[in-house]
Amino acid sequence: MDYRSLGRTGMHVSPLCLGAMMFGAWGERDHDVSIKIIHQALDGGINFIDTADVYSQGESEEIVGKALAGGRRDEVIVATKFHGQMGVPSGERGDPNQRGNSRRWIISEVENSLRRLQTDWIDLYQVHRPEPETDVEETLSALTDLQRQGKIRAFGSSTFPAHEMVEAQWVAERRGLGRFVTEQPPYSILARGIEADVLPVAERYRMGVIPWSPLAGGWLTGRYRKGQDVPESHRAQRVPRRYDLSIPGNQAKLDAVEELALLAEEAGISLIHLALAFTLTHPAVTAPIIGPRTMEQLESQLGAVDVTLSTDILDRIDKIVPAGVTLNREDSGYTPPALREPFLRRRRTA
């Protein structure tokens, strides 16, 4: 593989990043199977692994740690994330201080991630989601301290709106703090909203971009087609509105998948390769995250790095899903408070 610069960090990563979300209770429960998949990815040229503390409540990090133990840690860029609720099963309320972007939680949780990953340092430590009630200076200050202590090498954001990415850059400059050097946004043919602002901002600040869900949560694998029942999955249970066919946006996704599958067939490539090659084509993108649950899924995705899409194919994709359009808002991964809370967009009267 040709390796790419990860923003301005000086680190070089493979053009595909192995996502570990599906290793553990959320996907493949057999640790030995998950470890074999990780090793196969490394043998295939991938040197970049992304996980998060919240994935299977730490189990994913533990599996990655086991896979890299015994001499493989030094050859891999390991990224993980913090923010989500820890200490309770997914979706349940827990201690409000065992989550979030506060200094208190960051300083505590990084130690837990280091222990689970069986490592002395994390190459890229990421804020999993914005948190409006926490000042971004608080977050950047804690991350800068961890970087200076050598516990993390670099830090970044995930699923941040463009204006919050810019604010974080300005705060870092004004306060003499380390800055976010990467952004991990949702990006696929079916979710192109970030083309309007997030990707241009990332290019402006020379941030590495590590898109999650380039296969649109499975929609671009061929599993979701017209006339077929929606397959059951843990992901569909956790975020049902991304899969509920009664939602117009998901019907639009079905229509788009039919056209994209035909386009891929005409081009002589798989729908999976078409989808991954599309994200790899954008000049702002460093390495889209693939999230296989099985060895077969991994092998079906690795070859995408060798696929080059012609201008004609890219133009036809633009006609199927126009630039900057996300067919279902639920695929954006984050709902800003102004959309979530009606009172924030309604003038109060006496």
d(CA 150, CA 66): 22
Identify the three-state secondary structure at position 20: coil
> Do the Cβ atoms of 78 and 110 come closer than 8 Å?
no
Chain centroid to CA 128: 9
Which DSSP category does 28 fall into?
A: B
Identify the three-state secondary structure at position 267: helix
Identify the three-state secondary structure at position 50: strand
> Is the torsion defined by CA of 261, 266, 270, 276 positive or negative?
negative
Question: Which of 250, 228, 255 shows the shortest CA–CA distance to 240?
Answer: 250
Q: Tell me which H or E stretch contains 145.
A: helix 136-149
Q: Tell me which H or E stretch contains 65.
A: helix 59-68
- The order of strands in the sheet holding 289-290 is 208-209, 182-184, 152-158, 122-127, 77-82, 48-50, 17-19, 289-290
Indicate which residue of 55, 125, 187, 224 is catalytic: 55
> Do the Cβ atoms of 86 and 111 come closer than 8 Å?
no
Residue 243 appears among annotated catalytic residues: no
d(CA 170, CA 11): 24
- List the end-to-end C-alpha distance of the chain, in Å, as a whole number: 64
Helix ranges restricted to H, 194-294: 198-204, 234-238, 248-267, 271-281
> Do the Cβ atoms of 82 and 117 come closer than 8 Å?
no
Active-site annotation, residues: 55
